[in-house]
Every structure is written in C-alpha cells, then in structure tokens.
C-alpha cells in the first residue's frame, strides 16, 4: 500500500494487490490524520487489487465509518466490473463514491488530474471471481429441510455493516491451533464440514445441499431469552482459507461474520471476525442487555467445538471494540422487518398447522 498527499487534507491511497487484512489503522494513519481540520477526501485506487476477502471488505467498512467521523469522504476509482459487483453485494458502493477514472476523482475533489501517477504495468485480472456471491435483489430458499421454520429469509435483501440502526461493533475471536501439519485450509475445511454440529444446542443452522459456497443460503432457527428467531444468512464470500456470512433484512444484526485460518510464527490460528450493527431499535436494546453476551457465547462455543474436533485446548480469546458509537435514527423503520417479532407472531399459526 502506498499513499500520496494530493492537496490540503486530500490523500491518494493505492490499495495492495491482496486486500485481505482487516486492519484499517495503516490506511487511516497514513491518509486521515486525526489533527486534520476542514473537509477532506480519501481517493482509493483499486487498480492493483486482484484478491479481496471478507476481511478486506471489513477494513473498507471501518475506514469509511472512521473517516466519516473526521469529516472526510471516500472516493474510489480503478474499479473493474467484478470489483463493482463485490462493492454492490457488500453495500460498500453506498459507503464511497465510485468514479470511472482517477481524473474524474481528482476533478470531484478539486485537484489537478496530473496529481495521479502515470500508467503502471498492467496486472493480471481478478483472482477471486469464483469466491464472491453475485449481487441479488431478493433472497430465495430453494432447499428447506422439513425441521426448519423457514421464516424471514425469502424475498429479503441482504444488509451489511453500512446498513442497520445501532452502534457498529467489531468482535474478534481467536483460537491457536498449534498442531504440526495443520494448515489454514484444514481449519476452514473442518469449519465448513461441521458448522451445524459446532453450534450450541439453542442455535440450529441448515446449510443448503451445496454447502458453504458463494451465494448459498443458510437457514437459522435460534432460541433466545426473548423467544425464538427464524432467520438465515447468505454466503457472501468463500474460498479455501475463509468464508463470510452476510445477514438479511430483519436479522438481529446488520452485518457479516468472517471465519479465517491464518498461519503465523506459532502455527495456525482460527479467527472469527464479526462486524455489525443491531438492525433496529428493539434489537439494539436487546444487544445492550443480553444479546451481545449471547452472541459471544455462540462464537466461543463454535471455536471450542473446533478445538475439541482437532484435539487442542480451547484457549479462545475475545476482543470487542466499538467502531462507530453513533445511532442511525433514520433506520429505525427497520423494526417492520424484525425477524424475532415476526417469528413470535407466526408461532401460534405454526402450532395450529401441526
């Protein structure tokens, strides 16, 4: 990654070839100094990006939220057709202004187009074409197990961290594996193959027959202190080293969660990174009381189950931080789609049908 100052509080950021790091701090420190005053802009050059994961998408969400609080805006250029689809399905195209060229981006922020570096060697095309779900207007549920309640998924749009009502939170869970010969691919394979079995008893996942593949829908029935919730997720991204779920309208959260296997000096570590807001005021109140703790227990249980499966200690660590403390009151209307309220209303009907 390279950064260049184009003018007063205007920065150009050349994104790396692999956008797979969730850490927004390097970009933020280089292009959005905390002491900056007045209206500012960050120009993101996607021209060299060839691979992007759910973690890279999380970095862009956090970057947009944080620079917004510093009175800066984000513009992007060098975005090919595939990357435009990725930005569309994640909702990131609403968090930044997409420009056709670097010259257009410069014109919009009032700097000379000559500020953009000259042409660089042409890189190969995207390497993650098959790893991302395509943008969809509405979700479908082509395969429904008989035991699944199957409510609040069909016909809903997917919503990510740029949507939602409540505060934006990042939760990171880590499990050191420490086994010789275990690779990140082995960790992700174990999670994909055993994901429903790794859930706590009150959380039931129903993947489609295709499994955890981009664009597939996973139905969820969960029991909470507030009652049952029938919802689901869509597989946003999946490859050999990671996969990401994104939520539909009405889900308790508006966001996504990414599961990754990472290799380091001390061996492989399994990571879960959730980035989401409560979807509406009712969920926000629930998260501030019992919901957040319940969510932490779910993903801790999943990693503990993975540890038992691999035969390693369940030394799970959790890091929680608030990325954006703001409440988005215009999204309060999301309560109309609240999956828990609609599940509770449907429960008597379901009993009568039985």
* Residue 354: band (very low, low, confident or very high) from pLDDT cuts 50, 70, 90: low
Q: Is 60 exceeded by the pLDDT of residue 157? A: yes
Q: Give the tens place of pLDDT for each residue, 121-136.
A: 555 789 999 999 999 9
Instruction: Give the per-residue pLDDT at 1.
Output: 74
Confidence check: pLDDT of 102 > 60: yes
Tell me what the mean pLDDT of segment 191-216 comes to. Answer: 96
What whole-number percentage of the chain has pLDDT above 90?
Answer: 73
Please, what is the Cα angle at 127 between 214 and 156, to 5 degrees? 25
| More confidently predicted of 335 and 36 | 335
**pLDDT at residue number 343:** 94
Domains and CATH numbers, the chain: 2-116 (3.30.750.24), 140-353 (3.30.530.20)
From 91-95, 251-255, 265-269, the region with the lowest mean pLDDT: 265-269
Query: CA–CA separation, 295 vs 227, rounded Å?
Result: 15
Q: What is the pTM of this model?
A: 0.93
User: Does residue 342 carry a pLDDT above 90?
Assistant: yes
Instruction: Say whether pLDDT at 118 is over 80.
Output: no
Q: Is the pLDDT of residue 34 over 70?
A: no
Highest mean pLDDT among 10-14, 69-73, 321-325: 321-325
pLDDT tens digit string along 171-194? 999 999 988 889 999 999 999 999
User: CA neighbours within 13 Å on the CB side: how many for 216?
Assistant: 19
Q: pLDDT for 282-326, tens place per residue?
A: 999 999 999 999 999 999 999 999 999 999 999 999 999 999 999
Nearest to 124 by CA among 82, 160, 156, 155: 82
pLDDT at residue 122, rounded to an integer: 56
Among 109-118, 161-170, 279-288, 311-320, the minimum mean pLDDT is found in 109-118
Per-residue pLDDT, 131: 97
Task: Give the bridge partners for 3, in sequence order.
Answer: 13
Residue labelled with tokens 């990654």: 1
Residue 31 pLDDT more than 60? Answer: yes
At residue 349, does pLDDT exceed 80? no
Q: What confidence tier does 336 reach under pLDDT thresholds 50, 70, 90? A: very high
Q: List, as one string, the DSSP characters of 199-219.
A: S-TTEEEE--TT-S-TT-EEE
Residue 150 has pLDDT above 80, yes or no: yes
Question: Which pairs from 261-264 meet CB under 8 Å and 24+ separation?
Answer: 261/183, 261/184, 261/185, 261/186, 261/187, 261/188, 262/184, 263/183, 263/184
According to the model, what pLDDT value does residue 215 have?
A: 96
d(CA 100, CA 264): 38
Summarize the confidence of residues 99-124 as an average pLDDT. 79
């Amino acid at each position: 990654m390279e950064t260049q100052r184009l003018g007063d509080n205007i920065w150009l950021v050349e994104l790396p070839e692999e956008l797979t790091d969730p850490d927004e701090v390097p970009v933020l420190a280089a292009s959005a100094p905390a002491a900056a005053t007045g209206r500012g802009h960050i120009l993101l050059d996607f021209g060299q990006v060839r691979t992007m994961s759910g973690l890279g998408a999380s970095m862009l969400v956090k970057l947009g939220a944080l620079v917004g609080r510093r009175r800066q805006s984000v513009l992007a250029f060098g975005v090919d057709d595939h990357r435009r689809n990725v930005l569309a399905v994640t909702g990131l195209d609403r968090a930044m202004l997409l420009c056709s060229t670097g010259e257009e981006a410069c014109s919009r922020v009032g700097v000379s187009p000559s500020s953009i570096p000259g042409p660089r060697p042409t890189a190969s095309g995207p390497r993650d074409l098959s790893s991302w779900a395509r943008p969809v207007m509405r979700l479908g549920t082509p395969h429904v197990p008989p035991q699944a309640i199957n409510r609040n998924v069909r016909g809903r749009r997917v919503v990510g961290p740029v949507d939602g009502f409540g505060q934006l939170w990042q939760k990171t869970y880590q499990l050191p594996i420490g086994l010789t010969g275990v690779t990140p691919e082995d960790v992700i394979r174990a999670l994909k193959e055993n994901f429903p079995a790794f859930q706590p008893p009150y959380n039931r996942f129903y993947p489609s027959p295709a499994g955890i593949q981009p664009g597939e829908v996973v139905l969820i029935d969960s029991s909470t202190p507030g009652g049952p919730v029938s919802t689901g997720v869509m597989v946003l991204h999946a490859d050999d080293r990671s996969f990401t779920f994104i939520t539909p309208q009405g889900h308790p959260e508006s966001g996504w969660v990414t599961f990754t296997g990472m290799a380091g000096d001390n061996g492989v570590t399994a990571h879960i990174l959730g980035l989401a807001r409560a979807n509406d005021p009712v969920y926000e109140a629930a998260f501030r009381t019992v919901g957040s703790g319940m969510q932490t227990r779910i993903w801790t249980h999943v990693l503990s189950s993975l540890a038992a499966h691999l035969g390693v200690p369940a030394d799970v660590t959790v890091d929680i931080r608030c990325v954006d403390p703001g409440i988005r009151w215009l999204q309060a209307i999301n309560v109309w789609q609240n999956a828990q309220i609609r599940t509770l209303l449907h429960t008597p009907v379901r009993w009568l049908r039985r």
